[in-house]
Copies of this chain bind each other. A is one copy, B any other.
Amino acid sequence: MEKLHIIKIGGQVLNHEAVLHSFLKDLQQVPEKKILIHGGGKLATRLADQLGQPQQMVEGRRITDADTLKIVTMVYAGLINKQLVAQLQALGIDALGLSGADMNCIQAKKRIVGAIDYGFAGDLGHDSVHADKLHALLHIGCTPVICSITHDGKGQLLNTNADTLAAAIAIAMNKRYEVQLNFCFEKKGVLRNSEDDSTLIHSLTEAEYHTLREEKVIHQGMIPKLDNAFSALNKGVHKVVIGHSMDIGPILLNTNNYGTRLGN
């Protein structure tokens, strides 16, 4: 099967010009097909501050009221997506920016109101990602750049977690491709001590993950990312790597000693 890289771009790439430049130059060297996924939470929070619209977060998830939905749509689907696409085009990568509404490539459901009303937050189901649409775009030579805005198919845009979206796309695409899912963020990978890069865990099985989690070695912020990652592996994704945005080149080229490789 042909190889496909799904790459979740972290906030650091989007907020630092030098990191972005390094990331894009690395990407240019990778011959395989690619899909990029991004959010842009920090920039959205900054715009909300400028507009005097305080943001409410619950366990790292944004409460998306109607005004906040407009803000994240402007920042993710507009500013960040188009800046990324223009810079990829300048490097000769035929990027195409997408929200889930575009070509109906990802259809979500508004999160059911429980103890907390997350507003216009979109949850993904097993049939949310329309892999045939993404395949058609890859087939005509495009590199999709997908922001974490989806829709419900009835005209409503929804704000969806970008890590979850990346995992769902990886799972949906693995019928046609040998998928490597890459989460890029501001750490070297999964660390035993989150402040010390030299404590990088080079490979991690699900059993080891559960042990480290019980021992509280793996800290809170990493848990949803790792849950998404192991869920993808268990649903047939070939390989998952978590690493630093500056190391995306060696990670995509599968050079050892970069990032944390997940697998059983």
Contact = CB atoms under 8 A, between A and B. Distances in A.
A97 interface: yes
Contacts of A156: 86
A210 interface: no
A82 B89 contact: no
A82 B86 contact: no
A74 interface: yes
A194 B202 CA distance: 71
A151 B84 CA distance: 12
A96 B89 contact: no
A83 B140 contact: no
Contact of A101 (B74, B89, B104, B153): B89
A89 B70 CA distance: 19
A76 B78 CA distance: 7
A149 B75 CA distance: 15
Contacts of A19: none
A148 to B, nearest CB: 12
Interface string A80-112: 011101110110001111110111100000000
A47 B48 CA distance: 12
A73 interface: yes
A89 B151 contact: yes
A77 B153 CA distance: 20
A90 B50 contact: no
Interface of A: 47, 50-51, 70, 73-79, 81-83, 85-87, 89-90, 94-99, 101-104, 136, 140, 142, 149, 151, 153-157
